[in-house]
Chains A and B, each alone.
Chain A
Amino acid sequence: MSLLEIIGGIFILVGSVFLFLGGLGIFRMPDVYNRLQAGTKATTLGAMSVILGVGISQAATDWTWILKTLVIVIFIAYSNPISSHALARAMYKRKKFPLVKSKAENMDAYREIIETEKEEVKS
């Protein structure tokens, strides 16, 4: 293992841990805005780290990998915040406000939101 492969392996490990934390945030968080926060920021950092790690660890044998991985990183860096911003704006326009109360009230407000969603679907 050369030095570049060790550095790339560290990048890949850190990125995959951040991808796992993004999935855990999707699984555990209570409402839409928290899920957006956890699922978009953590996975953006994780994907960029994994892709750069692959480019760095392959750079000694073939230097064109680092250019292609840089292009992918640039496209992820502009496309992923756009989608998360559009989704948060749509949820805000539908009067789904963030829930900052205690836990019992939190769940009551969340059930109200689900009921209104069902009524909207029916209409």
Chain B
Amino acid sequence: MTYIIYIALFFMIAGLTMSAFRFVKGPTAGDRTVALDTLTIITVAAMVLLSYVFQRIIYLDVALVYAVLGFIGVIVIARYLEGAL
């Protein structure tokens, strides 16, 4: 099980790195916002996996807060880009 968690964390780090590269490089504002959304989802999955690693159920609450509130920032940025805020 330890090696499975190491392999999963390696894949997540690779995904985080590529999303961060697109965040720096991305030519328009939409690309950067998509990169922010992907970073949020990958980090939520990594937080849940870390709560399994440390065997603490209280760590799931942070992932729950990000799953509930994480889309509000993206929606506000999208409404601003649309011009309807």
Contact = CB atoms under 8 A, between A and B. Distances in A.
- Touch between chains A and B, by CB atoms below 8 Å: yes
B11 A94 contact: no
Interface in B9-35: 9, 11-12, 14-19, 21-22, 27-31, 33-35
A71 B57 CA distance: 13
Interface string A13-44: 10111011011101100001001100110011
B9 to A, nearest CB: 8
Contacts of A22: 15, 38, 41-42
Given A72-B60, A89-B82, A50 B19 contact: no
Main SS class of interface, A: helix
Given A23-B17, A26-B35, A50 B8 contact: yes
A17 B28 CA distance: 28
Interface of A: 1, 5, 9, 12-13, 15-17, 19-20, 22-24, 26-27, 32, 35-36, 39-40, 43-44, 46-47, 50-51, 54, 57-58, 62, 64-65, 68-69, 71-72, 75-76, 79-80, 82-84, 86-87, 89-91, 93-94, 96, 110, 113-114, 117
26 contacts: A12-B4, A12-B8, A13-B4, A15-B8, A19-B45, A20-B15, A22-B41, A23-B19, A26-B22, A26-B38, A35-B34, A39-B35, A43-B41, A43-B42, A50-B45, A68-B60, A69-B60, A72-B48, A72-B67, A83-B74, A89-B82, A90-B82, A91-B30, A110-B27, A114-B27, A117-B27
The 10 closest A-B pairs by CB, nearest first: A23-B15, A16-B8, A83-B71, A27-B18, A90-B82, A16-B11, A23-B18, A90-B78, A83-B74, A20-B11
